Amino acid sequence: MKYIEKNEEPKQFILWKEQEAETLEMKYVNCEKEKISAEKIWSYLPSSAPKQLEEGIIYYDKEQLKTSLLKEQGKICCYCGKKINVENADIEHFELKSLNSRKTFDYHNLWASCKEPIYDYLRENEKTWEDIAKRLKMEIEILKNLNPTFNIEKGRRGDKIKIHNDLHCNQERGDKKDKIISPADKECEQKFSYHLVEEKGINYLEINGLAECEEAQNSIKVLNLNTKWLKIERQKTYENVNKVIIEIRKQSNGNPMLIREKIKQQIDIYYNIEQNDYQLRAFCFVMVYGLKNYLKN
Ligand SMILES: [Zn+2]
C-alpha cells in the first residue's frame, strides 16, 4: 500500500451534489430508515454522461469521478498497487457506505481500486490446460494460477470455465466490517513489510503487517493481499531493486555519500506523480521499500 495524497474535490462533483442536495438528503433519510440500500443511493450517480445534454443542468458521472481518482493515485490501485485504468477500476468506499450512507458521495472517502476481469471460457476440444493456454495465447503457469480449482481431466466440450485471478482488494473486501489501513494514512507504508519466500523453486514476495498493528493484519486478510499473482508481481518488481542500486553505485563511482543522495532522489522520482505524467509504476512502493532498506544498512 502506498500513501495517497487526495487532490481537491472536483468542482463539477460539488456542483452536482449541490444541485441534487434535496433528493440526496431524502435518500439518506430513507436509507437510515432502512427503506433503501446504500447501493441504491450510489446508483443515483450515472455511470457515464447522457448522450443529450440539457442546458442549465449540471451533469456528473462515475467515469469522471474515476478519472479524477485515477489521476491522484497515479493510476495504481489504492490497495495492491497494480496498474489500473477507467476500464478495469472500481470506485471503492473506504468507509463502507452500508455503514454510513452519508459517506456515499464524500470525495475523501472514495478511491480507485482494481477489478479482476472474470470471463467465461467456452471449452471446445481442449484436453489439457496447455491446450487452453495455447488458445488464449497465455503462459501455462499464469493460467494455472488463475484457475486452481477447475478439474481439467473431467468435463467436456461446451463446458463454461470461469477464468479469473484470486479476488483481492475491494472485490474481496465487499462489505466486511473489519478495520483496515487507509491509503490516506501518511504512515501506511511503514505498517507493512515484504519478505522473500521460495516455494518449489519460484520466488514470491509476501506482504506482512506489523505485528502490533491489528489494522495492518486485517488489511492483508480482508483485501487478500497475498494472492499468488500479487506475490509474483511484487517479486518481479523487487528484483529491480538490486539493478537500480548497482547502476547508482556505478554512476557514483562507489562514493557512499553520493550513492545515498542518488537513492533518495530515485525514491522521489518513483513517487512524483506530476513528473511521471500522473502514472506511477506498478508496485512502486515495493521498489521504495527495497531502496529504503538499503539506506538503513
Ligand atoms: Zn488492487
Domains of the chain as residue ranges with CATH: 11-116+168-296 (no CATH), 119-163 (3.10.350)
259: pLDDT strictly greater than 80: yes
Report the chain's C-alpha Rg in angstroms: 22
**pLDDT at res. 145:** 72
**pLDDT, tens only, 169-206:** 999 999 999 999 999 999 999 999 999 999 888 899 99
Distance 171 CA to ligand 1 centre (A): 9
pLDDT (mean) for 278-290 = 97
Yes or no: say if 41 and 28 are a contact pair by the CB < 8 Å rule: yes
pLDDT (mean) for 111-135 = 88
Distance 51 CA to ligand 1 centre (A): 32
Distance 253 CA to ligand 1 centre (A): 39
**pLDDT, tens only, 81-120:** 999 999 999 999 999 999 999 999 999 999 999 998 777 8
16: pLDDT strictly greater than 90: yes
Task: Give me the percent of the chain exceeding a pLDDT of 70.
Answer: 100
Distance 112 CA to ligand 1 centre (A): 9
148 — pLDDT class (breaks 50, 70, 90): low
Distance 99 CA to ligand 1 centre (A): 22
What is the pTM for the complete model shown? Answer: 0.88
Region of poorest pLDDT, from 25-39, 119-133, 142-156, 218-232: 142-156
Alpha-carbon distance of 236 to 85, in angstroms, equals 21
Distance 220 CA to ligand 1 centre (A): 11
**pLDDT at res. 292:** 97
Alpha-carbon distance of 45 to 63, in angstroms, equals 10
Distance 246 CA to ligand 1 centre (A): 30
Distance 245 CA to ligand 1 centre (A): 28
pLDDT (mean) for 114-136 = 87
Distance 28 CA to ligand 1 centre (A): 29
Alpha-carbon distance of 96 to 263, in angstroms, equals 39
**pLDDT at res. 78:** 98
Which of 92, 64, 62 is CA-nearest to residue 78?
A: 92
Distance 82 CA to ligand 1 centre (A): 6
**pLDDT at res. 8:** 96
23 — pLDDT class (breaks 50, 70, 90): very high
Distance 250 CA to ligand 1 centre (A): 35
Cell of 269: 522520482
Amino acid identity for residue 192 in this structure: F
Distance 114 CA to ligand 1 centre (A): 4
Distance 89 CA to ligand 1 centre (A): 9
Mean pLDDT of the chain: 94
Distance 80 CA to ligand 1 centre (A): 4
**pLDDT at res. 160:** 86
Distance 79 CA to ligand 1 centre (A): 5
Alpha-carbon distance of 62 to 13, in angstroms, equals 10
Distances (CA, A) of 217 to 21, 90, 193, 229, 285: 38, 23, 11, 19, 18
**pLDDT at res. 94:** 98
- Which residues face 114 on adjacent strands? 89
Distances (CA, A) of 214 to 63, 94, 186, 220: 34, 17, 17, 10
pLDDT (mean) for 276-282 = 95
